[in-house]
Amino acid sequence: MHPPATLRQHLQTLDPLQQSMHAAIADTVLALADGARELAELISLGTLAGTLGALRGGSNADGDAQKELDLRAHELFVERLRGAPVAAVASEEAEAPQRLDAKAPLAVAIDPLDGSSNIDTNVSIGTIFSILPAIGNAATDFLQPGHAQLAAGFFIYGPQTALVLTLGRGTQVFILDRRDGDFRLARAQCKLPAGTREYAINASNYRHWEAPIRAFVEDCERGSEGPRGSDFNMRWIASLVADGYRILTRGGVFLYPGDRRRGYRHGRLRLVYEANPVAMVMEQAGGAATDGVQRILDIQPATLHQRTPLVFGAIDKVERVRRYHVESIADSAHWPLFGRRGLLRG
């Protein structure tokens, strides 16, 4: 029995229309995989590698405090991408894109370390990336809508180190085989399971949510006695890659809405290097992703670090959230009695 294909072997078997562009994408994915392999080893050492969860004393472009591992991950991936056909890299940890090779055909947007609040708690964290065509300069390269992505994915550093990858022809999962250092194909052409009665949301923010999100969650909480007619489970890991991997594996829906708190009106996740790549992965696995109403991949970014609400998962559940926003449930006449109405059954 032959072992599963390595990431390199898998990339070599694809036969896209633009072979030269595909070779550039493959080289870039492999460079990211090299960085992830090195970062996984560092993470696995925990405090033996130093105080990785300690604050560096600075903040990123959005004012979030930067931790030691945030910056080490940023520096690691930028260095790895220097050897790939990448014109520019944009990172959550840098205010502006960094030019690498002006003649290269690709641009990479990256969240080097997603879920950094979990560094010291041994909870899964990850790296999210988006690969775009380089179309002009480092400023405009990253202001393309998500449907322009050539490839996207994320690494998750958990019980296994995994790569979730799409090149626009389905979503694949690779697992790092620590015996030989190769990422090997574990799941080909992933499809989100249908009919799963799970949702992921940070329920501690309930009092800040707008009415449609409250209505959706309350209907799930009422279970078989409510308008949904079924019991639901809630899951929340507080790590986008971990929640995303679970939904890719088990189905359900993830919600990180905007809310009434200061600085949260437009959500907290970044469109370019978090929402867009996750949305592409989910769509290629038969799911959907929106900001609650609009398809994520159709949103035109205005700034590199633009934030957005994010809802992704099974198509029927993402569509249900959209209906809560745009149909009569949003009519003020239904509030504050939304918990007892019988709209949107099924």
- Asked if residue 40 has pLDDT above 90, the reply is yes
How far apart CA 178 and CA 223 sit, in angstroms, is 43
Query: Was 114 annotated as part of a binding site?
Result: yes
Query: Was 137 annotated as part of a binding site?
Result: no
Say if CB 100 and CB 20 are below 8 A apart.
no
Q: What is the pLDDT of residue 66?
A: 80
Query: Was 111 annotated as part of a binding site?
Result: yes
> How many domains does the chain divide into?
2
- Among 187, 222, 252, give the residue marking a domain's end: 187
Say if CB 85 and CB 28 are below 8 A apart.
yes
Alpha-carbon dihedral of residues 151, 66, 310, 39, nearest 10 degrees?
40
CATH number at residue 179: 3.30.540.10
Select the more confidently predicted residue: 346 or 99. Answer: 99
Q: Are residues 94 and 129 in the same domain?
A: yes
Q: Are residues 52 and 152 in the same domain?
A: yes
Select the more confidently predicted residue: 18 or 12. Answer: 12
Q: Are residues 160 and 300 in the same domain?
A: no
- Among 187, 210, 230, give the residue marking a domain's end: 187
Q: What is the pLDDT of residue 115?
A: 87
Q: Is residue 192 part of a domain?
A: no
Could you read off the pLDDT of 238-263 as tens digits, one per residue? Answer: 999 999 999 999 999 999 999 999 99
Query: Was 283 annotated as part of a binding site?
Result: no
- Asked if residue 186 has pLDDT above 70, the reply is yes
pLDDT class of 45 with cuts at 50, 70, 90: confident
- Asked if residue 21 has pLDDT above 60, the reply is yes
Could you read off the pLDDT of 122-171 as tens digits, one per residue? Answer: 899 999 999 999 998 877 999 999 999 999 999 999 999 999 999 999 99
Q: What is the pLDDT of residue 3?
A: 86
Query: Was 117 annotated as part of a binding site?
Result: yes
- Asked if residue 20 has pLDDT above 50, the reply is yes
Contacts of residue 223, defined as CB under 8 A and 6 or more positions apart, other chains included, come to 230, 231, 232
Is 167 in a helix, a strand, or coil?
Answer: coil
- Asked if residue 278 has pLDDT above 60, the reply is yes
Say if CB 92 and CB 60 are below 8 A apart.
yes
Q: What is the pLDDT of residue 334?
A: 42
pTM, two decimal places: 0.91
Q: Is residue 2 part of a domain?
A: no
pLDDT > 90: what percent of the chain?
75
Query: Was 224 annotated as part of a binding site?
Result: no
Query: Was 116 annotated as part of a binding site?
Result: yes
- Asked if residue 58 has pLDDT above 70, the reply is no
Q: In the chain, what's the furthest Cα-to-Cα distance? A: 64
Q: Are residues 12 and 89 in the same domain?
A: yes
Could you read off the pLDDT of 161-181 as tens digits, one per residue? Answer: 999 999 999 999 999 999 999
Q: What is the pLDDT of residue 342?
A: 38
Q: What is the pLDDT of residue 331?
A: 52
Q: Is residue 55 part of a domain?
A: yes
Tokens of 94: 């840098």
pLDDT > 70: what percent of the chain?
88
CATH number at residue 325: 3.40.190.80
Segment 221-234 shows an average pLDDT of 91
Q: Are residues 132 and 223 in the same domain?
A: no
Segment 28-56 shows an average pLDDT of 85
Q: The domain containing residue 223 runs over which residues? A: 198-340
**Mean pLDDT score of the chain, rounded to an integer?**
89
